[in-house]
Amino acid sequence: MNVGIDKIDFFVPPYFIDMTDLALARQVDPNKFHIGIGQDQMAVNPKSQDIITFAANACHSILSEEDKQKIDMIIVATESGIDASKASAVILHRLLKIQPFARAFEIKEACYGATAGIQFAKAHIKEHPSSKVLVIATDIAKYGLYSGGEPTQGAGAVAMLLSKDPHILSLAEDQVSLTQDIYDFWRPMGHDYPSVDGPLSNETYIQSFVKVWQEYQKRQKASLTDFSALAFHIPYTKMGKKALLAILENETEEEQSRILSRYKESITYSRRVGNLYTGSLYLGLISLLENSSQLSEGAKIGLFSYGSGAVAEFFSGRLVKGYKDYLHTTFHKRLLDDRKQLSIEAYEEMFSEQLDIDTDNTFSDVLSYSLSSVKNTIRHYKEPSPK
Ligand code: CAA
């Protein structure tokens, strides 16, 4: 049975900063951010937008009434959870008006979570072929003003509907996972920002990729030429390239150029958004599919998922005939182009305004789904008016 991604969409908040502005404000050569890190813009969110509103806005345009009746599981992957007990998937179940007899839960393993969600969804659909599963990756990547990680922040969500006979990507049963207990990036309870060992995180990312790739090649008797493209978790766009270069050394120049060209297409959106944590790999997949003219039906795409801490996984899928008809390229161009550019002063102000959950408050935000109020520590959301 073919199971995979039937629909996919993303949402990013409607504000961004330009990385030249950030570099100049931090007295850094702008080339460090544009070339050394590989980021041109960075998404910023106001406190009236959170992981729930990103997720709901990402799902809004792709779910039909029939999907809402058939979805029997909602999995939200996040490392920016808003509650230690209640899963954000439960709130989204109500906001998205999914039929009641569904399972809803949240999973965590840094940026890897959505991949665990996809594998769980795939196994569930194989057991229950009429089911559809909604997997949502939603996060706010914040390292703090003036921190080393500041140029690698971002915010947003990717929503994926998995089903049998999918219209976009049919997933193979070939995943290779790797777990290593390493403190490269972690966020203890109660801390607003993560603790990061930058060089160790880069190193662990690369060695994890090389390990799962080598194991994959051994188990599947596969080589790079079997793949039309590889998509990576993208904490910043230079990161995936560093990992890729580690396995390209012995490849022909032509092969190197082919794989690197696809990589460039996969980072087009991330260069303008920054790190989405759980959603980054999947934003990379969308970017690849929407910006490459070199892919066709049946093309095999390799996906490398990495979550600090650390869990990594390499798996693959094949593009389904007619997949282009299920993409939203024009809409995404508009979503990115129509965002408002903030000055660094405005960004710092927006960044520093934390939501105080212990003080009742009301908000007015133009987004379809956004926070309307906080009362008695409960977040209330504005919903779009019925069509
Ligand atoms: N022109 C061009 N390039 C320049 C430059 C200039 N003027 N100045 C510096 N550079 C280059 C450097 O040579 C370096 O390139 P290489 O990595 O290819 O050598 C690059 O810019 C970055 O420079 P530094 O290493 O000096 O940068 P830094 O110390 O400021 O830290 C960072 C970079 C470690 C990524 C930091 O931003 C960080 O800690 N980010 C968060 C952690 C992270 O994203 N880790 C990635 C792996 S972990 C993961 O993937 C999970 C996740 O999502 C968090």
147 C-alpha to ligand 1 centroid (Å): 12
User: What secondary structure, in 3-state letters, does the chain show?
Assistant: CCEEEEEEEEECCCEEEEHHHHHHHCCCCHHHHHHHHCCCEEEECCCCCCHHHHHHHHHHCCCCHHHHHHEEEEEEECCCCCCCCCCHHHHHHHHCCCCCCCEEEEECECECHHHHHHHHHHHHHHHCCCCEEEEEEEEEECCCCCCCCHHHCEEEEEEEEEEECCCCEEECCCCEEEECCCCCEECCCCCCCCEECHHHHHHHHHHHHHHHHHHHHHHHCCCHHHCCEEEECCCCHHHHHHHHHHHHCCCCHHHHHHHHHHHHHHCCCHHHHCCCHHHHHHHHHHHHHHHCCCCCCCCEEEEEEEECCCEEEEEEEEECCCHHHHCCHHHHHHHHHCCEECCHHHHHHHHHCCCCCCCCEECCCCCCCEEEEEECCEEEEECCCCC
323 C-alpha to ligand 1 centroid (Å): 35
pLDDT of residue 135: 98
pLDDT of residue 84: 96
Question: With 0-12 CB in 10 A as exposed, 13-18 as middle and 19+ as buried, what is 353?
Answer: exposed
Q: Provide φ and ψ at 253, rounded to 5°.
A: -60, -40
Q: What is the pTM of this model?
A: 0.98
Q: Which of 78, 112, 202 to mutate to test the pocket of ligand 1 (most atoms within 8 A of CB)?
A: 202
Tokens for 380?
């209330």
192 C-alpha to ligand 1 centroid (Å): 22
Is the Cβ–Cβ distance between 2 and 38 less than 8 Å?
no
198 lines ligand 1 (CB under 6 A): yes
What are the residue numbers of the active site?
Answer: 79, 111, 233
CA 330 vs. chain centroid, Å, equals: 19
Q: Alpha-carbon dihedral of residues 361, 89, 156, 240, nearest 10 degrees?
A: 150
29 lines ligand 1 (CB under 6 A): yes
148 lines ligand 1 (CB under 6 A): yes
37 C-alpha to ligand 1 centroid (Å): 5
304 lines ligand 1 (CB under 6 A): no
pLDDT of residue 385: 81
Q: What is the pLDDT of residues 170-214, one digit of tens each?
A: 999 999 999 999 999 999 999 999 999 999 999 999 999 999 999
CA distance 158 to 178: 24
36 lines ligand 1 (CB under 6 A): yes
Question: With 0-12 CB in 10 A as exposed, 13-18 as middle and 19+ as buried, what is 73?
Answer: buried
Residue segments in the chain with a per-residue pLDDT below the cut of 70: 387
β partners of residue 340: 15
pLDDT of residue 387: 62
CA 58 vs. chain centroid, Å, equals: 11
